[in-house]
Structures are given as structure tokens and as C-alpha cells.
Amino acid sequence: QGGFNWYISRNAARMAEAAGQTRALPRITVPTRIRWGDSAVLPSAWGDTLGETFANLDFAPLPGVGHFPHREDPDHAAAEIGGFFEGR
């Protein structure tokens, strides 16, 4: 229920956002890696606008997994996470 409560509590703000009635927020400058399962319910192509939110973004589809890559392909997910932090 907790996950649904978040959506319920954010509904008015989400609707205002969708209608373009909110102020633009500054882009997040922290280096960010997003790996989106290419078999997820939400298509990875929807990640095409993430650069509007993240200034230093490393985005790529993660092949062969869905919504839970850390469960579906833990070795690949761990390698992606490790690769992001390597040298930092």
C-alpha cells in the first residue's frame, strides 16, 4: 500500500506538472547512471527526456531484463553499478 500512497499523495502535483503549470527545476548535476530494463512495463525509449533532469547522465537500456534488473540479472546489474563507481 505504501507505494500506492506515494502516487495518491503526489496526484495533484503530477497533474500540474503534466499540464505545464509548475516551475522548472534546476538540472541535477550529480553524476547519474540509469540502466532501464528493455523488457520493462515502461519502455526504455521513455528515457529519452532524462537529460532534461540530469546534467551528467549515463543512460542505456539493460538488455534482457524488466523492472527488477538486480533480481533478473544480478551479475550484470552489479557490474553496471561497480563500473559506475570505478575510479570515483
pLDDT at residue 4 tops 90? no
Alpha helices in the chain (DSSP H): 2-9, 11-18, 69-72, 74-85
pLDDT over threshold 90, residue 76:
yes
Mean of the per-residue pLDDT values of the chain: 92
The answer to whether 63 touches 73, Cβ cutoff 8 Å, is no
The CA distance from 85 to 79, in Å, is: 10
Q: Does position 7 have pLDDT exceeding 90, yes or no?
A: no
pLDDT-based confidence at residue 33 (cuts at 50, 70, 90): very high
Q: What is the dihedral of CA 8, 12, 18, 22, to 10 degrees?
A: -130
∠ CA 77-64-86, nearest 5°, is 25
| pLDDT reading at 42 higher than 90 | no
* Residue 73 three-state SS: coil
- Say if pTM beats, i.e. exceeds, 0.85: no
